[in-house]
Amino acid sequence: MSERNLLLTELRERLWRTDPARQRRRRAPLPLGIAKLDAALPWSGLASSGLHEVLGAAGDAAGFGFAAALLGRLPESAGRILWCRGGPAARAMGRPYGPGLALFGLAPERLILLETRRAQEALWAMEEGLRCRRLAAVVGEGMEVAMKASRRLQLAAEAGDTLGLLLSPPGRVSPSVALTRWRVTAAPAACEEAMLGRSRWRISLLRCRGGGQGEWLVEFDDEALRLVLAAELGDRPLAAAE
């Protein structure tokens, strides 16, 4: 897209966003379900009309679990979820595993899985999907998104009033206009949680438009299907615990 066409598109969407009727139709933010995390965000949750980025580590599926836990909180009435994968980075990560997603509350039948040979094709599909109000959310996996492309995705999310999640390839961090940027890594589970099979993650809010930063240790309660704060007993010095 040329600079002229990009500018025209942005101007049209700015005018459309100022339509009072559209403001009444705006979707509510998606709460993470933990008061401290939601309080750190200016929307008291993830803004539904925006792009949010999740960074992970190589060989670590924590980012996928976090994304699935968030998407599982979306009501079924909001629509289905488009999951776009493209390029060698996405193929190296392996396909989303239905039973594994279900453990985090995300029903596999809600997904529309789109795989492309090239990352640019998946990026195009993600942008088009974000403009569709019939989708609850759009996920982009394995794509290295430059600043200009992230800007288009954000504009598309605003135009479609749709939640966008970008699962960036490990080790590749590019400048972005995403509303939030998170880093999610696996954390050792306490003995009792390990026996119950609970996932434990270290979640860092690296950047938030209009907000701050923070870091939390959380667990996924697979009975209640929700995130909960975890006690950091194992991280405290022995003297401090006495």
Whole-number Å distance between alpha carbons of 21 and 27: 13
Whole-number Å distance between alpha carbons of 136 and 49: 10
Three-state SS at 188: coil
Number of structural domains in the chain: 1
- Enclosing domain of residue 123: 32-231
* For range 73-90, the mean pLDDT: 90
DSSP 168: P
Tell me which H or E stretch contains 116: strand 111-116
What are 204's strand-pairing partners? 183, 215
Domain CATH for 163: 3.40.50.300
Q: End-to-end CA distance of the chain, in Å? A: 62
Question: Is 12 domain-assigned?
Answer: no
Question: Is 47 domain-assigned?
Answer: yes
User: What does residue 153 show for φ and ψ, rounded to 5 degrees?
Assistant: -65, -40
Q: Would you place residue 168 in the very low, low, confident or very high pLDDT band (cuts 50, 70, 90)?
A: confident
- Is residue 241's pLDDT more than 50? no
Q: Which two tokens stand for residue 13?
A: 């969407």
Q: Which two tokens stand for residue 152?
A: 């288009």
* For range 109-124, the mean pLDDT: 93
Question: Is 7 domain-assigned?
Answer: no
Whole-number Å distance between alpha carbons of 85 and 95: 9
Question: Is 191 domain-assigned?
Answer: yes
More confident residue, 15 or 122: 122
CA distances from 197 to 194, 219, 221 (A): 5, 10, 9
Output the pLDDT for position 202: 96
**Hey, what amino acid is at 26?**
R
Whether residue 4 contacts residue 19, with contact meaning beta carbons closer than 8 Å, is answered with no
Q: Determine the angle formed by the axes of helices 3-17 and 147-160, rounding to 10 degrees.
A: 30
Question: Is 1 domain-assigned?
Answer: no
> How does pLDDT run across 9-67, given as a tens digit for each residue?
566 555 545 554 444 457 899 999 999 999 999 999 999 999 999 998 888 889 999 99
Q: Which residue has tokens 């907000």?
A: 211
Question: Is 20 domain-assigned?
Answer: no
Three-state SS at 189: coil
Whole-number Å distance between alpha carbons of 31 and 66: 13
Q: What does pTM read for this prediction? A: 0.82
- Is residue 193's pLDDT more than 60? no
How long is the chain? 242
Three-state SS at 227: strand
* Range in 53-57, 133-137, 171-175, 208-212 with the lowest mean pLDDT: 171-175
